[in-house]
């Protein structure tokens, strides 16, 4: 069973127990986050495709941590006295998918 959900301008395909990295959100580690903009739900009994979203379906995830990666961009031209150094640090939130609620009466 998996779902495709939308967060911001990105779409994520996840199953229960997976770890996914989404854009940063100010939630303490250990707390839960819910996503209700579900585009597709694939179960053993069939597929639900939203128009645009599947009604009643949602994904519950637990916040694990808020890591960040620092990138350094460096340009250099030899013998031209040209050196440029820039940095960028992108913050994101790492989540573990705890449960997927399909919105069906039997699930």
Q: What is the pLDDT of residues 56-88, one digit of tens each?
A: 999 999 999 999 999 999 999 999 999 999 999
Q: Flag whether 85 is in a domain.
A: no
Tell me, yes or no, whether 88 lies in a domain: no
Which residues does residue 101 pair with via DSSP β-bridges, in sequence order? 58
79 backbone φψ class: left, alpha, beta (φ>0; ψ -120 to 50): left
Kind and range of the H or E run holding 25? none
Cβ atoms within 10 Å, residue 14: 19
Res 107: pLDDT: 45
Element (H, E) at 16: none
Residue 18 domain flag? yes
Write down the mean pLDDT value for the chain: 94
Domain count, the chain: 1
Confidence band (pLDDT; 50, 70, 90) for 103?
Answer: confident
Within-domain flag for 10: yes
pLDDT in tens, 8-26: 999 999 999 999 999 999 9
The residue that leads in pLDDT, 105 or 78, is 78
**Parent domain of 7:** 2-64+95-101
């Amino acid at each position: 069973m998996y779902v495709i959900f939308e967060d911001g301008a990105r779409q994520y395909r996840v199953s229960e127990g997976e770890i996914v990295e989404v854009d940063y959100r100010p939630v303490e580690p250990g707390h839960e986050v819910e996503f209700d903009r579900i585009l597709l739900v694939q179960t053993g009994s069939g597929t639900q495709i939203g128009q645009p979203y599947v009604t009643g379906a949602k994904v519950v995830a637990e916040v694990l941590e808020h890591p960040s990666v620092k990138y350094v961009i460096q340009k250099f031209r030899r013998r031209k006295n040209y050196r440029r150094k820039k940095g960028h640090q992108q913050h994101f939130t790492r989540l573990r998918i705890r449960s997927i609620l399909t919105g069906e009466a039997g699930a």
